[in-house]
Structure 1
Amino acid sequence: MEYATVKLIHVIGAILFLGNIIVSAVWKIQADRTNNPVVIAFACRLINVTDLAFTALGSALIVIGGIGLFHATGIALSDAPYLIYGIGLFGMAAMLWLVGLLPLQIYMSKIAAKTVANSETEMPASYEKCRRLWNMVGRIAILFPLGALYLMIMRPDF
């Protein structure tokens, strides 16, 4: 593939990935602030759906575009340490999502759905514990790809 095509794929992937993780965090925080189990359950379910649709797709496009750019430009990783650091940050974000955020989201979604099904008006303490952990891990998971984005655009010399 030519350079412009793989760069477009890479940029679209970054937009989908970063856009969804930031918007998901905003949706989730705002839903939790309502203290309404129906709203929280709805937000949790949609975050799971959009993560699979946009975060996973964005990640795949980032990887495909990144590999394509690597081949199209012929840059050696030894000549571009910012690439190594950027790839590392992206990989750490992906691991946090896969082993931390995604399982928490699925569990919180189940708690919220059960709360609504039982016609309860308050979320249980187990949800609150998960929410706090999700917020903490989520902040870190957002910083890693933002750092990768900075490195990819600014290409600092190390």
Structure 2
Amino acid sequence: MDIVVVKVLHIVSSTFLFGTGVGTAFYLLFASRRRDPRVVAAVAELVVLADWLFTATTIVFQPLSGLYLAHRLGIALTTPWLYWSIVLYVIAGLCWLPVVWLQMRLRDLARAAADRGEPLPLRYDQHLGTWAALGVPALFSFLAIFYLMTAKPAVG
């Protein structure tokens, strides 16, 4: 496959991955602040769908295309900027795995509360706090990855 095509797909894929993460986090946080279980359930349903459609596919594609590019360009995986990008990507991925489960749980809790005509339960807020806390290291990991991939500094 043409290396330029793979580079473009790698960049577009990273844009989808980062954009979906920031966008869905924004919508779920602000919907949750409304405290209306019907609104939260509807938004959480779409957040989960977006995560499966965009995040899950790009989280797989990114390392595959990145490894392909490194191989084709002759860049060793131990090159500092690439090595630390990989480490940060693993950290972000490890944060994302429980986030997916939490989002599905948030959706289910909101849906159940809406069906019963009740407010969001305390467990919802507990899960939301954990979800937000996991988003912080993932966000900063991705920001650092963008920097490393763009600047390619000689970090050690």
Shared fold, TM over 0.5: yes
What residue in structure 1 maps to residue 151 of structure 2?
A: 154
Aligned mates of 1:17, 1:137 — CA distance in 2: 16
Letter in 2 for 1:87: I
Deviations 1:131-151 (A, max 9, x none): 111111112221111111111
What is the aligned residue count?
155
CA-CA distance at 1:2 after TM superposition: 2.5
What TM-score do the two structures reach when normalised by structure 2?
0.94
Q: Of 94, 99, 102, which aligns to 1:101?
A: 99
CA-CA distance at 1:14 after TM superposition: 0.2
What TM-score do the two structures reach when normalised by structure 1?
0.93
What is the Cα-based RMSD across aligned positions, in Å? 1.1
Superposed, 1:9-158 pairs within 5 Å as: 9-78=9-78, 80-98=79-97, 100-120=98-118, 122-158=119-155
Q: Does the Cα contact within 8 Å between 1:28 and 1:40 map onto a contact in 2? A: yes
Aligned mates of 2:31, 2:142 — CA distance in 1: 24
Unaligned runs of 5+ in 2: none
Aligned mates of 2:28, 2:63 — CA distance in 1: 27
Deviations 1:7-53 (A, max 9, x none): 01110110110000000110011101111111111111111100000
CA-CA distance at 1:77 after TM superposition: 2.5
Q: Does the Cα contact within 8 Å between 1:28 and 1:44 map onto a contact in 2? A: yes
Unaligned runs of 5+ in 1: none
Aligned mates of 1:52, 1:77 — CA distance in 2: 28
